[in-house]
Chains A and B, each alone.
Chain A
Amino acid sequence: MNRRFVSLWFRHLTTDWLTLRRPELKDVPFVLVTPARGRVIITAANALAEAQGITAGMAAADAKAVIPDLQVIDDIPDQAARLLKALGEWCIRYSPLIAVDLPDGLLLEVTGCTHLWGTEKDYLKEIITRLISKGYDVRGAMADTIGAAWANAHYGRVKPIIAPGQQTNVLLNLPPAALRLDAIILDRLQKLGFYTIKSFVGLGRSVLRRRFGSDFLLRLDQALGTENEPLQLLRPAEPYTERLPCLEAIRTATGIEIAIKTLLEKLCHRLQGEGKGIRTAVLKGYRVDGQVIQAGIGTNRATHQVNHLFKLFELKISSIEPAMGIELFTLEAPKVEDAEPEQEILWSAESCGLENNSLAELLDRLANKVGANNIHRYLPQERYWPEQSIKPAPSLKDKPATVWRTDKPRPSLLLARPERIEVTAPLPDNPPMLFIYKGERHIIKRADDAERIEREWWLDEGPHRDYYVVEDEQGRRYWLFRSGHYLAEERPQWYLHGFFA
């Protein structure tokens, strides 16, 4: 989805606020000042004062000379940040992702929010008019990137909304200051005659980096949208953790059980509300002696079933060593996924297919005890070499991509390593007459013709195998193979590879 951002610029943030607090200042030019380096410096001027040439950074005495009846008011430190935070909280009605952009702005990620107010234009207009009606002088702009939105809010002249993908065209005509650069770099650009972004955007990146540093390039990329820019959110998405401090140090298994249950209930309640489920969870216990002990579980599919998760932890309780006692439990869910809604109840409990929840829960329990890498399910693979005709399935949901072959006989038991046997064979390419396996002679009564299986020459080299299904005089059935051809100089080696039912 195309991301969209809104940048809001409060041009007279602190003075507007003061005017709201003290309506008598409405028609009076006034400035906010703060002492710095033995002088009194203006930090903000209201619109009336600015109209007469007073700007932030001037000395208050100079300003007094320009406007004799200028009101000078002491600034409250950090007032701007506090105001922006409050305004940001108010703006959460428009989008949940809001960041404060010091010293005088807000950034909103509005991806997927605008249609609730009709169009993007209606949306932006709604925000701006509401803020202006409150008494703040605000400019806003919307674009695909934070940088472009900021630039357009501060320096744009044409229209506030940059259509998706159009940020480059709009930025070209703006001054370099629109890129949120350092004063030093801006000064240097000014000296070199780069008055618009257009004049340097086409230059080589290495040239620009050498002259202006990599921060400059980063800002440029962020505005153009080739680089991602993270937002420092006002209300960051909460990580999935729960804490449980204990009044008295816990030392018993029962105590730990209760702690796990309480934590799981809290966490699962939240997950359920958000439609998510746990894939991995870590329980940490902070012990009195300063040690931190932990136990982790994993699940095959996202779940927020307290009972099931508790059963998984139950297996781990014995490994939690409380020693002198545990003061604080925390439960984290580092991996959380969207949980599928429970539908299984609709199906009959008669048959438990691979999709069944109770099977997944069983496998979770087993995996937590014996290790997930010891649980296998196999899918057919289109390869002839017997050892490679199957491949492990990565998850329970995978379906076989090809069919299981049944045209050739395959033994019930297959030895991981074929075992050498001694053989008497009458003729090349005939099944053997007898073979000796583990010191026992097997006289072959019946045998099928050879099935030749070639090696996959593009993967490994070596002799092919000629497989024979044979049955001895007692009816025991084996899968033998001869490795390679009969050659004049050396006799081929025979192996036993499997047992037939």
Chain B
Amino acid sequence: MQHAKKDIISQLQKNILLWQGFAPPVADKAKGIGLGPIEEAFPNGIFPTGAIHEMLCPTPEQAAATGGLMAGLIAALMKPGGACLWISTSRKLFPPALMGFDVSPDRVIFIDVQRDKDVLWAMEEALKCEGLAAVIAETREISFAQSRRLQLAVENSKVTGFLLRNDPRKLGTTTCVARWQITPLPSEPEPGLPGVGWPRWRVELLRVRNGNPGSWKLEWADGRFEPVTEVNEELNVQERRIAG
């Protein structure tokens, strides 16, 4: 009896996911996006593609860090040979930097518009275009209704969207599948070497729809994401002591 109840509940939960636009993953696509333990925070343990992610970047430093993490994600999304759109009003992204995250910058199309309103319009249009790898839009504010429109667009087209909230004034509810915040962390160079090491961030999932928010340390090393665990860090410190 108890067992059957559990089954029913899990079935219902799955149905809820389905109604909210989470299609169950296709078997061969369940490779993951390379985020390691962070993916466990999402429903079904899979990074949701075909959805909108919201990224908070209150400072330019965080925007740079977010750009890095996102470039890594786009690289995975663009693997099958897609293109990607980057919509913004005041673009600071330096295209050659994308190459450091395995994204060929010539496959990214930048659209510079005048007003925030146009950003959302352009994003909605772009999200309707089936087959695009990803659409990234930098916008300051977005209302619930506007995010709902974007959500409806991706539900049909299965395009992944990223909203970069540069210096947001107020954080309302949105339909976005996850709200991220990425903060740069001091890098750890190879033991015994001077200089700046691989980019390292604190990745915080402030809100995950039907998932578990959390905070992780992540490093981009040698062309892939590398989770930084306490054990690893401890090891590094010890090694440095030995080297020092």
Contact = CB atoms under 8 A, between A and B. Distances in A.
B211 interface: no
B172 interface: no
A446 interface: yes
Contact of B96 (A356, A362, A410, A470): A410
A476 B64 CA distance: 9
A415 interface: yes
A181 B63 CA distance: 77
Contacts of B130: 349, 352, 358
Contacts of A356: 83, 131
Interface in B197-221: 197, 199-201, 220
Given A369-B121, A390-B96, A375 B109 contact: yes
A204 to B, nearest CB: 56
A352 B132 CA distance: 5
B155 interface: no
Nearest to A468: B196
Nearest to A473: B186
A413 B93 contact: yes
A67 to B, nearest CB: 84
B27 to A, nearest CB: 15
A252 interface: no
Interface stretch (B32-40, B98-106, B144-152, B233-241): B98-106
B195 A501 contact: no
B94 interface: yes
The A interface is mostly helix, strand or loop, or mixed, namely mixed
Contacts of B189: 446
Looking at chain A, what size class is its interface with the partner chain? 35 or more
Interface in B47-75: 60-61, 63-65, 67-69, 71
A410 to B, nearest CB: 5
A453 interface: no
B24 interface: no
Interface string A384-405: 0010011001000001100011
The B interface is mostly helix, strand or loop, or mixed, namely mixed
Interface stretch (B3-11, B12-20, B111-119, B173-181): B111-119
Contacts of A448: 195-196
A415 B94 CA distance: 9
**Most B C-beta atoms less than 10 A away, residue of A376, A406, A416:** A376
B229 interface: no
Contacts of B67: 412-413, 501
Contacts of B111: 366, 370, 374-376
Contacts of B61: 476-478, 499
Interface residues of B, number: 58
A474 interface: yes
B95 interface: yes
B76 interface: no
A351 B133 contact: yes
B131 A358 contact: yes
A475 B131 contact: no
Given A369-B121, A374-B112, A475 B187 contact: yes
Given A362-B125, A474-B186, A477-B64, A375 B110 contact: yes
A500 interface: yes
Nearest to A381: B96
B80 interface: yes
A353 B64 contact: no
Contacts of B104: 404
B121 A413 contact: no
A471 B92 contact: no
B82 interface: yes
B83 A353 contact: yes
B14 to A, nearest CB: 25
A447 interface: yes
Contacts of A56: none
A175 interface: no
A475 B186 CA distance: 3
A153 B68 CA distance: 77
Contacts of B186: 445-446, 471, 473-475
Given A349-B131, A446-B189, 13 more contacts: A356-B83, A358-B129, A376-B110, A377-B109, A378-B95, A378-B106, A404-B106, A410-B94, A412-B68, A446-B187, A470-B196, A474-B186, A501-B101
5 contacts: A354-B109, A369-B121, A477-B199, A478-B61, A501-B97
Interface of A: 349-354, 356, 358-359, 361-363, 365-366, 369-370, 374-380, 386, 389-390, 393, 399-400, 404-406, 409-416, 445-449, 469-471, 473-478, 498-501
7 tightest A-B contacts by CB?
Answer: A501-B68, A352-B131, A499-B64, A414-B94, A475-B186, A412-B67, A404-B99
